Structure 1
Amino acid sequence: MRGLLFTSSKSSSPSTQSPARTPVSHHHLTFSASIQEEDLLYAEQVIKRWDLDSTKHDCLFTVDRREARQFIKSVKNLQSAMHLFVSENASSEKIIHAQKLMQIAMKRLEKEFYQILSANRDVLDSESVSNRSSRARSSVSDDENAWEEDDRGSTSGTTVSDGDRVTVSEMVMADLKSIADCMIGSGYGKECVKIYKILRKSIVDETMYNLGVEKYSLNQINKMSWEVIEPKIKAWLHALKVALKSLFYGERILCDYVFSSSDKIRESCFSEICKERAVMLFEFPELVARSKKSMDRMFRTLDMYSAIFDQWSDIEMIFAFDATAVVRTQAVTSYAKLGEAVRAMLTDFETVLQKEASKAPVNGGGIHPLTRYVMNYLVFLSDYIESLSEILADWPLDHVTSPLPESYFSAMNSDVSSTVSARIAWLLLVLLCKIDAVAELYKDVAQSYLFLVNNLNYVVSKVSNSNLRLLIGEDWLEKHKQKVKQYAGNYERMGWSKVISSLPANPTVENLSIEEARDCFRRFNLEFNEACQKQSTWVISDHKLRDEIKISLSKKIFPAYQTLYERFREHFRGVHSVVRYAPDDLGNYLSDLFHGAGAPGSSNTSSHSSSSLSRSR
């Protein structure tokens, strides 16, 4: 060696240098082989100690994690030795012996891999895996070092305190990864992958079944009543959230981690484990969207659309592999079909609303059923502004036969989709036209205005207290609040003008004679009684509006009557046919109005007002 290393380059020639290289290579190979043989002997001791045919121990990784690390290291050394032996003599007895040892080792690791996966389902559940610590999401090399340095004994049945450096789930995952890396590196990846796919797929299948995700055909969905489909949609919404936030996400993390040494393997594993159930999950919305259309299905359809819309980033991230492209495609298809279904149902809603024609007025001038239905429908729609903006983005309001005036949109909120605002505004306008048409059916003009007060106030209230306010704008709201006040004023004028005009404009004038006062009382009695009788079944649904109108009527009637009453009641004492009502009676009668419960005084009026009304009849 000394002579070879220190031979002068000047005295050397190509012909004399060439023989010198052979001894170097030979000595080097001899030295390496001796080291490998020692490693092989040590590996043989460790591997045979855990031969499935001879050992009584069930699980290496459960019994002694130090021994488990030595076993993995021995397998890697065995593999290195085999490479060296092959380079020397591919058919040597050493190769055959090493191959037998490798088969023993792989059978043990195969069993270990199966037992760890089977025994630790509770710590490998998707939620635990998806909530792994930041340490467990570190680089692969860090994970390998952590596993090699971990001296704890068992990964099964161990209680890990909060202060431990590594959680039980991370320990288990590290064990699985070390086995997978070793088997794949040794050329036994197929056996490892097969076990993993079978066990993890069974967990995914079981979880999805428990979440209520089943395979349906379009024919099956069409045969189901809405009462059957709606609970299934609710279950689907819950299942989607669990699947994306926990199940599929957790499986993706676990797969990526355990098979980080091979992109191809981790992709094929995740695809085979989750693809079938994921496609089934996203098929259901498409089937519902393609089934029978009904306006009542609108909001559940929007729920499914919004769920996919809101979680699209998760869908793309989890199923980013080429092998799972079919899942993304199915999600996009369902998303598009749900949007088409919403458009179809919205068109049906508009058509039904425009064709609606009421042939009879509502009793008492109350809120029309159409007003209630349409406004509640629109309020629910306004909760889906973001989804509707997507659905209606390229669906302009060009089918409307009589376009809305430009001024109708001047107050629209620019922060939301103008397409959604325009469509909602159009539907509101159609509804208000229907309300006007029903108002014309009333024979009594005062009751017609009361109907307009009730219905327009209901519309305004619903807009004011919902997301419709964002769509329609403050100007629209203020404009229609003023209309409510205008209609209320018209009602008071048409319904109570004769009562008000029966009283003197200035009852304090000295030249009002007793006979003139008598005539005032008689006319007032007649008109007030008639107004109360006529309006005894009329309704003002909103209690605040009801109180405002009562107060307004009281201010118009009570002061003039009280002055007349106080000045002339002494002249007509005991003559009930002339002075029929005390001032307090008027308030009692007015307080009984607009409840739609019958004649005033029938339930909660004072005894005096009840007897007075009885005499007036």
Structure 2
Amino acid sequence: MHYCQSIMPTYEAEVEQHIIAATQHILKALGASKNLNDDFKRALTELDSHLSTMTMITESKGGGFSEIEEQLKHAERKIIRWESDPSFIWDSGPTEAIEYLQAVNAILTVIESSGGLSLSENGKPREIALQAKHALQRAMSRLEEELCHILFQHKQYFKPRYVSFHSCAEDVFYDKSFTSLEDEIVEETSQRDGEDRESVECSLDLVDPHVIPEIKSIANIMSASNYIQEFCEAFIGSRTEALYEYFSILEIEKLSIEDVLKLEWDSWNRETKKWMWAMKVIIRVYLASEKRLCEQILGDFGSVNSFCFIEISKASVLCLLNFGQAVAMGPHKPEKLIRLLDMYEIMANLHLELDSLFSEDDGSFVRIEYHKLLRRLGDYARETFMRFGNAIASDASLHPFPGGRIHHLTKYVMNYMRLLPDYCDTLNLLLKDQDADESNAVVEIDNEQDFSSSTSCPMACHLRSITSTLESNLIGKSKLYKDDSLQFVFLMNNIHYMVNKIKDSDLRHFFGDEWIRKHIGKFQQHATSYVRATWSSVVSMLRDDGKTTLKERCRRFCLAFEELYKNQTRWYIPDLRLREDLQISISQKVIPAYRNFLGNNNSNVSDKHVKYATDDLEELLFDLFVGSPRSLRNSRRR
């Protein structure tokens, strides 16, 4: 029995040796094949190295530690040699890298084998085990350096073509007050979010694909050595730094909440546009690519994969969200609304992709913060829109607007509203249910809008409320004119402008034909009231009252006409057709009466009393409302 026990270890060792030898023979046969790729050949080499070390351990079970000790010394020499070499192992070629990994495998095998040998507290096995563990620590430290170097040396960036988000809103609302906006600025040429979707929807190689196997080999050996945590720390540190560098490429600055709140309009507008672009590129491209990289390298390590991705990306995502939070803390200025809606829509369009990136429990806090900001931006945009009417109502004037022209407030409000139909779905959602939970607070943008019920949607109701507030404000501003006639011209100009802006844009779907007809009637009524208030009294001077002589009636008429001419050539009607229509209306009231007066009294009124011929008078009427005073000194007599 004792004899059998003594020969069993020797027998088991021989069996193991035969199995290992057979496996090595198979590996050599596979290695001779020309159809294997480099990755597979590298794996075969590493496995062969490990089997060679196992052979040494198997032989050592028959007696002594001399071969183990010799193998350990050989591996140590490889480790120590690179400690004094300033160059990097993987830069020196695949052979050096494979030999280094073989040395680490040999050390690992020594550590594994020492656990199965007869150890005495202060004996040789313990000494070898401690020596092997110390050598392993040194090797792991070196591999961390190699990993960081490979990641740094082979990182790749891209700079996508910048695409503006809403060109029709570019730098339009640039002032706290309702200052003048040139109509040419506001063009119907918006670029919606979906139009540039393809330009940033792709996955890229953030690290040169050729070095992925090398990184994986380092991950595998460090995991086998129980140093996966150290690998993760080095990997996370390198990739986080690369992501921050990419922020610089996108020209994204880290701004505190205080910094954002202090930004002037131009800077604020510029930073929000960069933020929107960065959100799309970082989430849709960079983080998607980063997650793929983590899966390529750490996909076989379970939760380590998602842990590394979340640690790499969370700080940058939260940095972007912090900017959005700061924006949503500022005052509700009307000029910010378009940018706020852009920010909201971009986040709404990206929420599914972000949820997918951070689908694991460890990433739930990122999802929560994202949806909190999405909801907050929606609330902030809605409140800003709702307060727009209050801002219009409170816009006071101390002096009448020169010449009865179109007021800056009217231009601002109407050009502002012309931008809003593109945001119909979003505004309807935000206005319809102010208490919507986040599951309902997401909208997909549809450029092919259905306007069949547009006039009754929440946005349409609010737009009509805004124009009603604007009309009330304009009526108040018209009372600043001492001349009643100029009040009518001012209201006619401004309501005509409102009607044209609505009739000639997508706003017409939200106001409807009835509103347009009603307001056409309003500015026409103001025109009629102007003619009646201004010219009826002038024409009445030509009538025979039984008291005034023909000469006096003619003189009074000419004086009244000249006074009106002097004043009303300064007044201005910018719309040429509206101006001509009003000039014709005046002519139709004045010229027939003047012609009849001259015709009926031709024999009783001498030429010296008739200052203007009928044709001269008619021609002078067409000088009215041109916005610059005209002289009557060169009037033509016939």
TM-score category (smaller protein):
0.5 to 0.7
SS at match of 1:260: helix
Distance 1:243 1:67, change over 3 A: same
Q: Choose which of 196, 204, 215 in structure 1 pairs with 2:235.
A: 196
Give a deviation string over 1:99-145, Cα, whole Å, max 9, x none. 79877875664443222112123x266979x99998x89xxxxxxxx
Contact 1:75–1:102 (CA<8 Å) still a contact in 2?
A: no
Contact 2:201 2:284 in 1 (8 A): no
Q: Cα 1:240–1:41, aligned 2, differ >3 Å: closer, same or farther?
A: closer
**Residue deviations 1:32-53, cap 9 Å, x none?**
24457974576779x9599343
Which structure 2 residues correspond to residues 402-441 of structure 1 after superposition, within 5 A? Answer: 414-415=453-454, 418-439=457-478
Alignment check: 8 A CA contact 1:51 1:108 kept? no
User: Kindly tell me: are residues 51 and 83 of structure 1, through their superposed partners in 2, closer, same or farther at Cα, counting changes over 3 Å?
Assistant: closer
- Residue number among 53, 73, 78 corresponding to 1:51 in the alignment: 78
Residue 115 in 1 paired to residue 123 in 2? no
1:51 match: secondary structure: helix
Q: How many angstroms apart in 1 are the aligned matches of 2:399 and 2:300?
A: 77
**Is the 8 Å Cα contact of residues 126 and 248 (structure 1) preserved in structure 2?**
no
Query: Is the CA contact 1:75–1:182 (under 8 Å) kept in the aligned structure 2?
Result: no
How many angstroms apart in 2 are the aligned matches of 1:50 and 1:478? 95
Q: For the structure 1 residues 124 and 80, does the alpha-carbon distance in structure 2 shift closer, same or farther, using more than 3 Å as the test?
A: farther
Kindly indicate whether residue 610 of structure 2 is the aligned counterpart of residue 578 of structure 1. yes
Q: Is the contact made by 1:286 and 1:333 (CA closer than 8 Å) also made in structure 2? A: no
**CA distance 1:572–1:132, change in 2 (3 Å):** closer
State how far apart, in whole Å, the 2-side matches of 1:174 and 1:466 are.
Answer: 58
Task: Indicate if the aligned counterparts of 2:488 and 2:530 stay in contact, CA closer than 8 A.
Answer: yes
- 2:624 alignment counterpart: 593
Post-superposition Cα deviations, 1:210-234, rounded to whole Å, max 9, x if no partner, equal 744425256x666666676555444
Residue 536 (str. 1) matches residue 569 (str. 2): yes
* Deviation at residue 183 of structure 1 after TM alignment: 3.0
Equivalent position amino acid for 1:309 in 2: A
Structure-2 residue corresponding to 1:290 = 329
Give, as a single letter, the amino acid of the residue that structure 2 aligns with 1:533. Answer: K
Asked if structure 1 preserves the Cα contact closer than 8 Å seen for 2:290 and 2:309, the reply is yes
Residue 25 to residue 561, structure 1, CA distance change in 2 (3 Å): farther
User: Partners in 2 of 1:132 and 1:269 — Cα distance?
Assistant: 23
What is the Cα deviation at residue 594 of structure 1?
0.9
Cα distance, 1:363–1:60 mapped onto 2, change above 3 Å:
closer
Cα distance in 1 between the residues matched to 2:499 and 2:613: 38
Identity over aligned residues, as a percent? Answer: 27
Change (3 A) 1:309 1:88: same
TM-score w.r.t. the length of structure 2 is 0.65
Residue 200 of structure 2 contacts residue 284 of structure 2 at CA under 8 Å; is this kept in 1?
no
Matched residue type, 1:372: K
Letter in 1 for 2:463: I
**Distance in 2 (alpha carbons) for counterparts of 1:28 and 1:555:** 122
Contact 1:446 1:494 in 2 (8 A): yes
Structure-2 separation of matches of 1:103 and 1:127? 43
1:290 alignment partner, SS class: coil
Question: Alignment RMSD, CA only?
Answer: 5.1
**C-alpha separation in 2, matches of 1:77 and 1:52:** 12
Partner residue of 1:169 out of 208, 228, 235: 208
Aligned match of 2:440: none
CA contact (8 A) 1:371 1:431 kept: yes
Code of the aligned partner of 1:198:
G
Q: Which residue, out of 324, 336, 344, partners 1:305?
A: 344
Shift of the alpha carbon at 1:282? 0.6
Shift of 1:414: 1.7
Is the 1:413–1:471 Cα contact (8 Å) retained in structure 2? no
Q: Match for residue 611 of structure 1?
A: 634
Q: 1:111 to 1:531 in 2, by over 3 A?
A: closer
Pairing 1:208-607 to 2, within 5 Å after superposition = 208=247, 211-214=251-254, 216-217=256-257, 229=268, 232-354=271-393, 361-395=400-434, 414-415=453-454, 418-439=457-478, 444-497=483-536, 525=558, 528-550=561-583, 553=586, 575=607, 577-578=609-610, 580-581=612-613, 583=615, 586-587=618-619, 589-598=620-629, 600-601=630-631
Structure 1 position 382, deviation (Å): 4.7
Other-structure match for 1:144: none
Summarize deviations over 1:515-567 as a string: whole Å, max 9, x none.
Answer: x99999878745643542342332213334224433555577679989999x9
- The answer for unaligned runs of 5 or more in structure 2 is 1-7, 25-47, 54-70, 162-198, 436-449, 544-548
Unmatched segments (≥5 aa) in structure 1: 1-20, 138-166, 397-410, 505-515, 602-608
Q: Any conservation in 1 of the 2:455–2:512 contact (CA below 8 Å)?
A: no
Letter in 2 for 1:422: C
Contact 2:347 2:374 in 1 (8 A): yes
Q: Is the 8 A contact 1:177 1:259 kept in 2?
A: yes
Matched AA of 2:147: F
Stretch deviating more after TM superposition (519-528 or 447-456): 519-528
How far off is 1:185 after superposition? Answer: 4.3
Q: What corresponds to 2:187 in structure 1?
A: none
Conserved 8 A contact 1:293-1:345? yes
1:170 to partner: Cα distance: 1.7
2:18 partner letter: F
Aligned residues: 525
